[in-house]
């Protein structure tokens, strides 16, 4: 007989020792789910985690009883079961002993594997998010460029139309003076009829209205064109492609341009108060900071139901620029305050929040060697403070 053909019973003490001294936890449960046996590793795990005998089941998968039943009833094995306890993850396999009343659980600590998996997931989502931002940037720059072309001749032509309009009105006025003079003198019946026709036409076409409204209409159109120009400019400033380079930027301007982008989101909900201080330009990645400002402003707006207030202020504090964005919104409960910068932490409804905004923001600020702080009172509002170091250029400014 070959040794490999021997039944496991032939290795009675060896296999027991192997199980008992196995570095992975092994538990034996009866049909009711009571623990009948723990190997040394399981005991050690129990001690490390400070679990009582009654608590030990918590290391096993949550659907424990179901698994036990299944293994015993059908004699099946269950694999790839997972459990989480005290920041540790375990993977389990369960085996029903054929014809018996017990089930073995054989576990492995997969905490490290889970951590890597989570990190990879986060990284992947961040890459997707970065990619998305880059695509939005390219798209925005493209659209902005396309809008600027027709906008150019609209701006030029509006100017000419305004001039022509003014000229026409002047001519009509001049003509009216002459007409009044002529009508005062003796004129033929035919001419009188002609004048009457002119008066009719004036009334029908609403000359008075035209005289009154034309300058306003033109002014409004010019204002509109100017606003389009500003939006396009802000769109470009906000998400400029070919970036990635650090440059000196005025944080006040960054805030202003970001504010214009999100003003459509804010203006129906809140009054925006801007208090820009005298701050030096800092070396930074402006459009990444714009992304931070946008996240904070959009969050502020989401926190406000209606008639709220959003306050934006900047100031110099020694070697830092301090940016404060406050809202009079619902506030963040203390239990959540410590978690808001965690990746994927969100309290917004599904589809509204990704849980990425603040975690990305916090990373961008860190990348600038700055820090981001939050103060919040439920029902009163929330204030985010961003501290950015002024750096060399600022120091030069200070010395001179």
Q: Which residues bind other proteins (CB under 8 A)?
A: 141, 144-146, 148-157, 159-160, 225, 229, 233, 236-237, 240, 242
- What is d(CA 93, CA 387) in angstroms, rounded to the nearest whole number? 50
Residue 342 phi/psi, 5-degree rounding, is: -70, 145
- Is the CB of 233 or the CB of 385 nearer to other proteins? 233
- Is the CB of 49 or the CB of 136 nearer to other proteins? 136
- 3-state SS string over 267-297? CCCEEEEEECCCCCCEEECHHHHHHHHHHHH
Give least dist CB 151 to other proteins, A.
4
- What is d(CA 85, CA 65) in angstroms, rounded to the nearest whole number? 18
Give least dist CB 152 to other proteins, A.
4
Give least dist CB 281 to other proteins, A.
16
Give least dist CB 343 to other proteins, A.
32
- Is the CB of 15 or the CB of 230 nearer to other proteins? 230
- Is the CB of 19 or the CB of 246 nearer to other proteins? 246
Structure token digits, residue 299: 């969050």
Give least dist CB 144 to other proteins, A.
7
CA-based radius of gyration for the chain: 37
- Is the CB of 82 or the CB of 146 nearer to other proteins? 146
Q: Which residue is it, tokens 């034996």? A: 28
- Is the CB of 233 or the CB of 283 nearer to other proteins? 233
CB atoms within 10 A of CB 34: 12
Residue 347, class by beta-carbon neighbours within 10 Å (0-12 exposed, 13-18 middle, 19+ buried)? middle
Give least dist CB 156 to other proteins, A.
4
**Region of residue 31 (left: phi > 0; alpha: psi -120 to 50; beta: else):** alpha
- Is the CB of 252 or the CB of 343 nearer to other proteins? 252
Cα angle for residues 322, 328, 330 (degrees, 5° grid)? 115
Cα angle for residues 172, 174, 179 (degrees, 5° grid)? 90
Give least dist CB 306 to other proteins, A.
36
């Amino acid at each position: 007989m070959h040794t490999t053909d021997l039944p496991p019973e032939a290795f009675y003490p060896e296999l027991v020792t192997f199980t008992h001294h196995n570095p992975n936890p092994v538990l034996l449960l009866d049909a009711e789910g009571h623990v009948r046996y723990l190997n040394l590793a399981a005991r050690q795990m129990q001690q490390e985690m400070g679990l009582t005998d009654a608590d030990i089941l918590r290391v096993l998968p949550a659907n424990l009883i179901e698994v036990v039943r299944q293994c015993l009833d059908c004699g099946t094995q269950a694999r790839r079961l997972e459990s989480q306890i005290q920041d540790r993850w375990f993977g389990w396999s369960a085996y029903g002993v054929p014809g018996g009343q017990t089930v073995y659980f054989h576990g492995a600590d997969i905490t490290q594997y889970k951590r890597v998996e989570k990190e990879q997931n986060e990284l992947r989502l961040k890459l997707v998010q970065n990619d998305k931002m880059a695509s939005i940037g390219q798209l925005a720059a493209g659209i902005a460029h396309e809008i600027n072309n027709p906008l150019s001749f609209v701006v030029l032509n509006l100017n000419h139309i305004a001039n022509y309009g003014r000229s026409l009105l002047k001519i009509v006025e001049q003509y009216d003076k002459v007409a009044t003079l002529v009508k005062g003198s003796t004129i033929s019946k035919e001419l009188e009829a002609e004048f009457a026709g002119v008066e009719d036409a004036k009334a029908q076409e609403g000359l008075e209205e035209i005289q009154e409204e034309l300058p306003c209409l033109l002014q409004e159109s010019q204002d509109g064109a100017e606003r389009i120009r500003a939006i396009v400019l802000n769109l470009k400033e906000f998400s400029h492609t070919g970036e990635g380079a650090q440059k000196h930027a005025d944080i006040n301007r960054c805030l202003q341009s970001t504010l214009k982008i999100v003003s459509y989101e804010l203006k129906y909900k809140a009054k925006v108060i801007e208090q820009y201080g005298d701050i030096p330009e800092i070396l930074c990645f402006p459009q990444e900071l714009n992304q931070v400002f946008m996240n904070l402003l959009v969050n502020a707006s989401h926190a406000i139901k209606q008639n709220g207030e959003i306050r934006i202020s900047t100031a110099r504090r020694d070697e830092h620029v301090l940016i404060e964005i406050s809202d009079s919104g619902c506030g963040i409960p203390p239990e959540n305050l410590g978690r808001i910068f965690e990746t994927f932490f969100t309290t917004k409804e599904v589809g509204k929040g990704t849980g990425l905004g603040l975690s990305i923001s916090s990373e961008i600020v860190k990348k600038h060697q700055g820090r981001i702080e939050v103060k919040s009172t439920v029902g009163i509002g929330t204030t985010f403070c961003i501290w950015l170091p002024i750096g060399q250029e600022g120091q030069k400014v200070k010395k001179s």
